[in-house]
Chains A and B, each alone.
Chain A
Amino acid sequence: MAEVLVYVDHVDGAVRKPTLELLTLARRLGEPVAVHLGPGADTAAPVLAGHGAVRVLTADAPEFADYLVVPKVDALQAAAEAVSPAAVLLPSSAESKEIAARLALRLGSGIITDAVDLTADEQGPVATQSAFAAAFTTRSRVTRGIPVITVKPNSAPVESSPAAGTVEQLAVVFGGLATGTKVVQRAERTSSGRPELTEAAIVVSGGRGVNGAENFTVIEQLADSLGAAVGASRAAVDAGWYPHSNQVGQTGKSVSPQLYIANGISGAIQHRAGMQTSKTIVAVNKDAEAPIFDLVDYGVVGDLFQVVPQLTEEINARKG
């Protein structure tokens, strides 16, 4: 059976959920071979094996952390040459997309980004994408080379599927471009303790209507009652009320949760681009004409400072 390379996104061996989703998709195309770069392969390997990786190729070197993107491309290229895969799958994070792009060019392959589903037929993988702020759904395929496809979070279920997961060292020779861009300093982001925005099943967002950084506690309390991640519109981020890493939209994160609750957000096209594919959409906005109401399954026309705390209280009461 054909092998499919899956690039592992992880923090020191803690595998991120989108990678496990990729393993589910990879099993539709062939036998997943995971590529783990950097430290923590010992921790990651059993997890990858548990989700269907027949082999885990690992390489660790200071270059992966000290220089931007290219060392990882060199490693994936080495993996592709060693395996001759039927496809290469990567998560649709900003960095992984850049890795995917350079890899595709080196392999002489077409690239598809931000797939939301993958199926296979005799001619190989077919990727579903959502275009023009999710107004259209397209199905595309790579017609030349080894398909290189990046996939958005929440595009497939995480499934356990025990496989051998044999750990093998990958030999990587870094090319001349690998040390071009030096990472001179790195400040790790501190975790809020809440679920990761792109991976969360529920996202509660606040916009300009929240009217102040201090008022975001209203949003956070609702999020915590639901075990949700907190998102923000660009207006709220630009005003300095919430960190940019929580921005939902075209230039922020794109989210596709089971439930999205927009509070004090008008629903501009650039915001919709990041949340329109949410399964259930709820909005609280005091303006009945706000475009966000065109998208909702349930909307409350009202003042968020009345509605949201009441909702939070109800939820907490029901949880007992």
Chain B
Amino acid sequence: MSLRIVVAVKYVPDATGDRHFAEDLTTDRDAVDGLLSELDEYAVEQALQIAEAAGDAEITVVTVGPEDARGAVLKALQMGAAKGVHVEDDALHGTDVIGTSLVLAKAIEHIGYDLVVTGMASTDGTMGVLPALLAERLGVPQVTLLSEVAVADGKVTGRRDGDAASERLEASLPALVSVTDQSGEARYPSFKGIMAAKKKPLESLDLSDLDIDPAEVGLAGSWTAVEDATARPARTAGTIVKDDGEGGKQLAAFLVEQKFI
């Protein structure tokens, strides 16, 4: 029986751009170009490797976000995923992580899955909690923050490198996996992949398709609220010296002056 893999990918503002907040204190998505969160490339890569090892597998990529977010799905299709699903609805603007996990869980159930793969964190919100929320909602084991992952005989195994210890984990399918950037370099889309992606199915869903009450998502439906956002004051220019043989001593003098020594 075919292994059904769903990868959740996020479309995020480019971290090297000038990211900021919009007037309603949500992420200003118009100000900066968006892209597939680089940490989700690792998720797509591991899904592709799991699918290749399984032989008979199909990867569906899902994203929740505005019109442009389709770009994240497209990139994953170019890398080799088979199908895409884009959940898009005006009511989603400003959804917090609890709401996002609701929408993703419903979409993933709608798609059907044996294995869900996500990144370790998004590069914008950087919360790192969505995978755990998704596992809780789906009622499946969470096998998260893996630097190594394999699927065989209906089981997921992986390695999780934590603060205090490195652990080997095991769970039965269906399960949710999140992978770190230590899991292995992601492939670049090939020319063939880019051409093939144009013909791959990309389904668009809205909240009514997923039977979600708009009141449960969006800014109004959020369980958290941002009161204010202020730009960090520009740093006052520091002292910069060129080493002419005394640089280490000068630095030591600075550290003494600052009472670090």
Contacts and interface: CB of A to CB of B under 8 A. Distances in A.
Given A101-B129, A131-B229, A299-B240, A202 B248 contact: no
Interface residues of B, number: 84
Interface string B76-113: 00000000000000000000111001000000000000
Counting chain B CB atoms within 10 Å of each CB, which of A68, A102, A319 scores highest? A68
Interface string B119-154: 011011011111111011101111111010000000
A69 B135 CA distance: 11
Contacts of A259: 255, 258, 260
Q: What is the predominant secondary structure among interface residues of chain A facing chain B?
A: mixed
Contacts of A185: 167-168
A119 to B, nearest CB: 11
A187 B231 contact: no
B224 A98 contact: no
A143 B162 contact: no
Contacts of A112: 224
A281 B101 CA distance: 37
Given A136-B21, A139-B227, A311 B248 contact: yes
A98 B230 contact: no
Interface string B20-35: 1100010000000000
Q: What is the predominant secondary structure among interface residues of chain B facing chain A?
A: mixed
A300 B39 contact: no
A2 interface: no
Query: For the side of the interface on A, what is the size category?
Result: 35 or more
A204 B112 CA distance: 48
A310 interface: yes
A299 B223 contact: no
B163 to A, nearest CB: 6
Given A102-B132, A311-B248, A315-B261, A184 B227 contact: no
B169 A297 contact: no
B1 interface: no
Contact of B232 (A135, A273, A280, A314): A135
A114 to B, nearest CB: 7
Contacts of A95: 162-163
Contacts of A145: 223
B248 A186 contact: no
Nearest to B166: A187
Interface of B: 15-16, 19-21, 25, 39, 96-98, 101, 120-121, 123-124, 126-133, 135-137, 139-145, 147, 157, 160-172, 175, 180-182, 222-232, 235, 238-243, 245-252, 254-256, 258, 260-261
5 contacts: A182-B169, A245-B163, A250-B121, A258-B260, A300-B248
Interface of A: 11, 68-70, 73, 93-95, 97-102, 104-106, 109-114, 126, 130-145, 177, 180-189, 202, 226, 244-245, 250-251, 258-259, 269-270, 273, 280-282, 284, 288, 293-303, 306-315, 318-319
> Which 4 A-B pairs rank lowest in CB-CB distance, beginning with the nearest?
A310-B248, A302-B243, A110-B223, A180-B141
